[in-house]
Amino acid sequence: MPAIETIISPALFHLYEEGLEQKNVVVIDILRATTTICVAFANGAREILPVAKPEEAAAMQQMGWIAAAERMGETVSGFDLGNSPQDYTRERVAGQKIALTTTNGTRALQMCSTAKHVWAGSFLNLQTLCDRLLTENNDLLLFCAGWKDKFNLEDTLFAGAVALVLRDRFTITDDATLAAMDLYEKARTALPEYLQKASHDIRFNSLHIESDLEACLKINTLNVLPEFKNGTIQNGQHA
């Protein structure tokens, strides 16, 4: 059976890179990049280009793309959008191409670009993602984007949620994945309450974007499957 491993921080990514071309990866940035990417596709975005720097997104703006940039949780001044899923409405993004840069999420996507498949995971598309993963026979890395190379609770909880759905079809002997599953079992019945102690929750409160937390913790509300391929993200699932 294929195996699941969980990378709890981008700082550990190098430990899992061997044979990456044969592995599938789910990039996880629950608060908020991969959630926002899912919402953008659910609302009809055509393509999302993850870029490293705001200047790169700004350059795409000249070519008619929406330029979206977040740093330290805030929209970078002069950009069309930041990283709040609530701003990626159908009116704003349907039919549009978006160049996006965020503090951790877009960086994590670029780090694993040579993997066999790279998908963006969020609680909103958990079941759609897992349905696809259940058809795959390659080893799977659950890659938590974290916060500036530090561990975070919400990405690890999502890794646990995925592993729990997949556990009968994958070998799970990796301690990080086992810990993530235990953590999700503990938190699953009251996820928002459990996350009140998380560093991101505290940061969101200080930025007055608490409502994004609720938006990012809805489970199985979207039937989208963003896939990062050939340098860009498209929706591999059409309802």
Q: Which residues bind ligand 3SL (CB under 6 A)?
A: 29, 31-33, 70, 73, 83, 102-105, 145
- For residue 195, the 8-state DSSP code is G
Tokens of 159: 């890794």
How far apart CA 142 and CA 25 sit, in angstroms, is 6
| Sheet of strand 226-229, all strands in order from the earlier edge strand to the far edge | 4-7, 140-144, 24-28, 117-121, 226-229, 232-235, 47-50, 97-101, 66-71, 74-75
Smallest CA-to-CA distance from 46 within 88, 103, 107, 104 is with: 88
Tell me phi and psi for residue 149, to 5 degrees. Answer: 75, 0
**Least spacing, CB of residue 207 vs ligand 3SL, in Å:** 8
Minimum distance from residue 64 beta carbon to ligand 3SL (Å): 24
Measured from the CB atom, is 21 or 74 closer to ligand 3SL? 74
Q: In terms of CB distance, is 27 or 176 closer to ligand 3SL?
A: 27
For residue 166, the SS3 value is: helix
> Is residue 108 a contact partner of residue 121, using CB atoms and an 8 Å limit?
no
Residue closer to ligand 3SL (CB basis): 70 or 80: 70
Residue among 32 and 132 whose Cβ is closer to ligand 3SL: 32
CB of 65 to ligand 3SL, least distance (A): 19
Q: How far is the CB of 159 from ligand 3SL (least distance, A)?
A: 16
- Comparing CB distances to ligand 3SL, the nearer of 38 and 181 is 38
DSSP H or E stretch at residue 191? helix 191-194
Distance, C-alpha 11 to centroid of its chain:
17
Instruction: Tell me how far, at minimum, the Cβ of 201 lies from ligand 3SL, in Å.
Output: 11
Cis peptide before 32 (omega within 30 of 0): yes
Q: Closest approach of Cβ 12 to ligand 3SL, in Å?
A: 17
Least Å from the CB of residue 78 to ligand 3SL: 17
Helix-helix angle 153-166:126-133, to 10 degrees? 50
Identify which of residues 68 and 222 has a Cβ nearer to ligand 3SL in the complex.
68
15 phi and psi angles, rounded to 5 deg: -70, -15
Secondary structure element (H or E) that encloses residue 200, with its range: helix 199-207
Of 123 and 170, the one with the shorter C-beta distance to ligand 3SL is: 123
